[in-house]
Copies of this chain bind each other. A is one copy, B any other.
């Protein structure tokens, strides 16, 4: 509950029309795309610029009011769930693409810009912004930066972090800082640009970003390799890379996922095979053709029963769209969809997929696995029902085992979804107490009153359960 005197000061900054503390208004922002997390904010505030945000932060900092910055809430780690109340900060007035600079190959955007809208504007100029999270149709650039989003093109092109070269951010004390710039190189002080990328709004509120662009690849080709053996698919991935081919996309879908996706997308995906690899290469035509041929051969040698090249861009786009729809498709199966993000060195994918299957059998669960095989970034997904406490307990235990296995294989608990509240209890598995203590020290230095998205990244108690049933 925000005191009326503070409400008056906040509305004086943003205008009454941008301050909503109605029950209905707050309910809308009480949850994000993460199942089973919900908490009511005290107010929803829509600032118009960085100065207004600085004013809001100063008030919140002196009154210990949490601030949760939120794009479209598509994250899967409860990163924007206002678990400790306070203000949800929306960027609906700060959603413009400010400039596309063709000489310096940069785009400058406000955090509320929709990812795909920006990508479309950039591509219309023959330029390319590679990060393409599956949620890009509705996700915002600010959200992508806060979560360091990945996507289907991460293997060749990297993730959001690799394209953020300058930021404007408001710190907890109300200071507005600028990092980096339209600069290919900048070592003036610590790399706050990258420190802020993926920090989930816990270190500052990003109010503007300068992103690096590259030339749009000339052509792109897409193919599907079909397998009756999971391990053969995983081995194809390793072999392609060790043969020094870096495809733009190298996605894996297992049979359960294929069935559900085909049922949803109806594009003629094979459902009688154990796994498929969706492989894309982009670049100059000669190179793309050569790489596609080499990869097709590798897949066959490693045991693919068939390799099919998409015959048109429409067919290729249908395949990509189907892959991006995997979460939506799986979400139709049962009321609760637990999608995880365990990531391993790519040489360990076969072992990880095998372990996921064993763990799912052990706990009597049906886990579908798909993901960015080229990145070693798998999304084991369990359709479940939050009302079934016994099942949810088994889900929790299974995912804990999956995380432990990923770490054992040299991996991490989250490749691209972020820690949020959801995975905070497992962070210690990856970082150890020492690593967490060091990160907490940085958090505390920049936000001593813990008003910036509190409760995210760092668990209140070590090793909690993955899903908190209410």
Contact = CB atoms under 8 A, between A and B. Distances in A.
A185 B103 contact: no
B375 A154 contact: no
Contact of A183 (B284, B411, B432, B436): B411
Interface in A231-246: 238, 241-242, 244-246
Nearest to A195: B195
Given A345-B182, A347-B101, A441-B446, A198 B187 contact: yes
Interface string A399-417: 0000000000011111111
Q: In the complex, which range does the number of interface residues on chain A fall in? A: 35 or more
A372 B175 CA distance: 34
A427 B199 CA distance: 24
Contacts of A101: 345, 347
Interface stretch (A155-163, A220-228, A266-274, A327-335): A155-163
* Protomer copies: 2
Given A103-B346, A159-B185, 6 more contacts: A154-B185, A177-B438, A184-B343, A188-B414, A188-B419, A189-B427
A293 interface: no
Contacts of A8: none
B287 A183 contact: no
A355 interface: no
A459 to B, nearest CB: 11
Given A105-B241, A286-B284, A413 B188 contact: yes
Contacts of A414: 186-188
Interface of A: 101-106, 126-127, 147-148, 150, 154-155, 159, 161-162, 171, 175-179, 181-192, 194-195, 197-199, 203, 214-216, 238, 241-242, 244-246, 283-284, 286-287, 290, 343-347, 372, 374-377, 410-419, 423, 427, 430-432, 434-439, 441-446, 457
Nearest to A344: B183
A103 B238 contact: yes
Contact of A345 (B162, B183, B418): B183
A470 B243 CA distance: 57
A426 B457 CA distance: 35
Contacts of A345: 101, 103-104, 106, 181-183
Given A162-B162, A446-B438, A374 B189 contact: no
